[in-house]
Amino acid sequence: MSTTAHDAPTVVRVDGPEPYDVVIGHRLLDRLPGVLGDGVRKVLVVHPRALRSTGDAVREDLAANGYEAVTAEVPDGEEAKTAQVAAFCWQVLGQAAFTRTDAVVGVGGGAVTDLAGFVAATWLRGVRVVHLPTTLLGMVDAAVGGKTGINTAEGKNLVGSFHPPAGVLADLSALQTLPEFDLRAGLAEVVKCGFIADPDILTLCEQQPDEAVRWDSPVLAELVERAVTVKAAVVGEDLTEAGLREVLNYGHTFGHAIELVERYTWRHGAAVSVGMVYAAELGRLAGHLPERVVDRHRTILTRLGLPIVYRGDRWSALYDAMRRDKKSRGATLRFVVLDAAGRPTRLEGPDPALLQAAYVEVSDT
């Protein structure tokens, strides 16, 4: 289960009401017209400022294939996920007279695919979107599953919709220029898939951590394929998070709180890394998880160069942020915890004292 620069791409099917393929491989841009499908005439390419040349290359390739392609350059990172930036994209679509048979292409990391998906979902109540993720996080998480959204001052992804893409082209060659810490941060979502569903991911990370952070290694390719397969299986059964899909939020309730408190200066994967250790400690304190599995979290994440602690003077702000988390139901906080590796479960309404006790276990003081 590995892809190298010389192998044929791997295709992972995402089932559900609107099935689509995630193609994992190298040099995949020539597949974009086929994913866009028949009837599309105009394409909006949404890309971050840092990927201007990549966005232009995609636009030029589309133009060479007969499309009317325009670009929308948006801020880098989470700054792109605002109502103001979405409104700018809508303006571009309107000025170019995009119709319901036209399409949006998101080129970039998770923030851009979240934004591009939301713009596509809301323009004329829904047009086709294709994602070209350029980060590891985007490939294994944000671009797959149909979740779209933007942030508000009150929290992350509080405004959004479910809008599955027409397809995802995960070109591993894009990882060559990805900063090392961003690649490591993306591995947090891979490790999450290991803990909730595929323990072979954990074994690979334990045994070959150096290969896991090499963009062209067969190990990283296999990790991407395994993580996408886990997510595809979950979202194919539960697109709108009515039940099963909630397991994909392992580590995210506390992780999103860190992101909000830090005003999104933390990488998502870094925050989720700490969030998984928090969830593991919470599971242990609630009597679900053996201590050795909690220790395994710390060992794997540390070997991958990811953080496992957070500052110890932010409990009040973190608790308030978690109470506003979109996974809460009324005043009831909900967490995904583990009974064992590969056996996720839910913990609803834990005692606040238990939550604070888990926080102490991940504090750096």
* Per annotation, catalytic residue among 131, 147, 288, 297: 147
256 is catalytic: yes
Numbered residues of the known binding site: 76-81, 110-114, 134-135, 147, 156, 189, 252, 268
- Catalytic residue (one of 47, 131, 163, 252): 252
Catalytic one among 128, 268, 284, 288?
268
Catalytic choice (241, 246, 259, 281): 241
Residues 133, 109 contacting (CB under 8 angstroms): yes
Residue 125 annotated as catalytic:
yes
**Which residues belong to the annotated binding site for NAD(+)?**
76-81, 110-114, 134-135, 147, 156
Secondary structure (H, E, C), the chain: CCCCCCCCCEEEEECCCCCEEEEEECCCHHHHHHHHCCCCCEEEEEEEHHHHHHHHHHHHHHHHCCCEEEEEEECCHHHHCCHHHHHHHHHHHHHCCCCCCCEEEEEECHHHHHHHHHHHHHHHHCCEEEEEECCHHHHHHHCCCCEEEEEECCEEEEEEEECCCCEEEEEHHHHHHCCHHHHHHHHHHHHHHHHHCCHHHHHHHHHCHHHHCCCCCHHHHHHHHHHHHHHHHHHHHCCCCCCHHHHHHCCHHHHHHHHHHCCCCCCHHHHHHHHHHHHHHHHHHCCCCCHHHHHHHHHHHHHCCCCCCECCCCHHHHHHHHHCCCCCECCECEEEEEEECCEEEEEECCCHHHHHHHHHHCECC
Instruction: Decide if 245 is catalytic.
Output: yes
Closest Cα partner for 223 from 252, 184, 174, 280? 184
d(CA 15, CA 8): 22
Of the candidates 75, 254, 260, 76, the one whose C-alpha atom is nearest the C-alpha of residue 153 is 260
CA atoms of 288 and 294, how far apart (whole Å) = 11
Concerning whether 147 is annotated as a catalytic residue, the answer is yes
Beta strand pairing call for 20-25 and 10-14: antiparallel
Please give the structure tokens belonging to residue 298.
Answer: 């710390």
Catalytic residue among 125, 263, 292, 329: 125
**249 part of the active site:** yes
Is 189 an annotated catalytic residue?
A: yes
Q: Which of 42, 131, 163, 245 is flagged as catalytic?
A: 245
Q: Which among 59, 131, 163, 249 is annotated as catalytic?
A: 249
Check 192, 231, 267, 297 and give the catalytic one: 231
Is 151 a known active-site residue?
no
Q: Can you say which residues are annotated as belonging to the binding site for Zn(2+)?
A: 189, 252, 268
The reply to whether 26 belongs to the active site is no
Give me the active site residues, please.
125, 147, 189, 231, 241, 245, 249, 252, 256, 268
